[in-house]
């Protein structure tokens, strides 16, 4: 008589556990789905953050390129007139503080236009790039070589112990540019330069005055026969009659 009672009790317990097991199954299924959703969201968030970092890096690189392009010549990569003026201003400020000389050279290429007209702008551009390389090789790392535009260049000598130092740099520039330029298509170009220079503080005390005097001296060198160097007139020199 005890055996049927045990069967009845066992059946009642199983029936009681069925809803519990069903709820456990539903909970595990729900938890699994939630975990999958959370993992997917986390992966999406990481992807978005990584994309934002890529965009930020791209923007930074773009801003750096724009800042560089705004201060450098597109053809030669040399500092343009804007950066030239900044560098020259810094050099003059330093020269004033330490009681030193500084100098600016203004040069114009002789014979560039015939090469450009005869062989085309692409050949002329290549010639200008090679000129820029030779000019940079003729000065020290602390000096600044700039392209003003066309075939005009400027050089800031950061520190000049004596005027002869500037003359030596000018001589190196003239010698470098006097060597033949081997260009594309078997073209060999021969050019020279007319170079004018102004010395701080002998020829002026501000950038505008010094550059203007160096420019005038460059034209004096060109009018005197080209392929030569000329000093600016001293700041206190009487006007020529």
To the query of whether residue 151 is one of the catalytic residues in this protein, the response is yes
Q: Residue 155: in which H helix or E strand, if any?
A: strand 152-160
Q: Tokens 């005890």, residue?
A: 2
Give every CB contact of residue 3 below 8 A, 6+ residues apart in sequence: none
**Residue 185 to residue 113: CA distance in whole angstroms:** 18
Is 221 within 8 Å of 194 (Cβ atoms)? yes
State the DSSP string of 175-240.
HHHHS-EE-GGG-EE--EEEEEEEEETTT-SSHHHHHHHHHHHHHHHHHTTSSEEEEPPPTTPPPP
Kindly state the tokens that stand for 25.
């199954």
**Catalytic-labelled residue, pool 73, 151, 202, 215:** 151
**Residues assigned a catalytic role:** 151
């Amino acid at each position: 008589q005890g055996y049927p009672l045990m069967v009845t009790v066992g059946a009642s317990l199983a029936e009681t556990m069925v809803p519990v097991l069903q709820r456990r199954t539903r909970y595990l299924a729900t938890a699994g789905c939630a975990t999958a959703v959370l993992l997917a969201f986390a992966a999406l968030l990481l992807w978005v953050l990584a994309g934002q970092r890529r965009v930020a890096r791209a923007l930074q690189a773009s801003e750096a390129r724009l800042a560089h392009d705004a201060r450098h010549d597109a053809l030669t990569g040399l500092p343009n007139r804007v950066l030239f003026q900044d560098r020259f201003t810094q050099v003059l400020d330093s020269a004033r503080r330490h009681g030193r000389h500084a100098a600016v050279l203004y040069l114009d290429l002789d014979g560039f236009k015939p090469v450009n007209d005869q062989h085309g702008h692409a050949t002329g551009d290549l010639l200008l790039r090679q000129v820029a390389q030779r000019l940079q090789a003729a000065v020290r790392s602390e000096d600044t070589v700039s392209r003003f535009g066309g075939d005009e260049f400027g050089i800031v000598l950061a520190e000049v112990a004596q005027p002869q130092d500037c003359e030596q740099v000018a001589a190196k520039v003239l010698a470098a540019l006097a060597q033949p330029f081997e260009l594309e298509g078997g073209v060999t170009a021969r050019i020279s330069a007319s170079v004018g220079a102004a010395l701080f503080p002998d020829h002026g005390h501000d950038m505008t005055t010094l550059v203007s005097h160096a420019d005038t001296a460059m034209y004096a060198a060109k009018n005197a026969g080209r392929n030569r160097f000329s000093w600016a007139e001293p700041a206190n020199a009487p006007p020529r009659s």
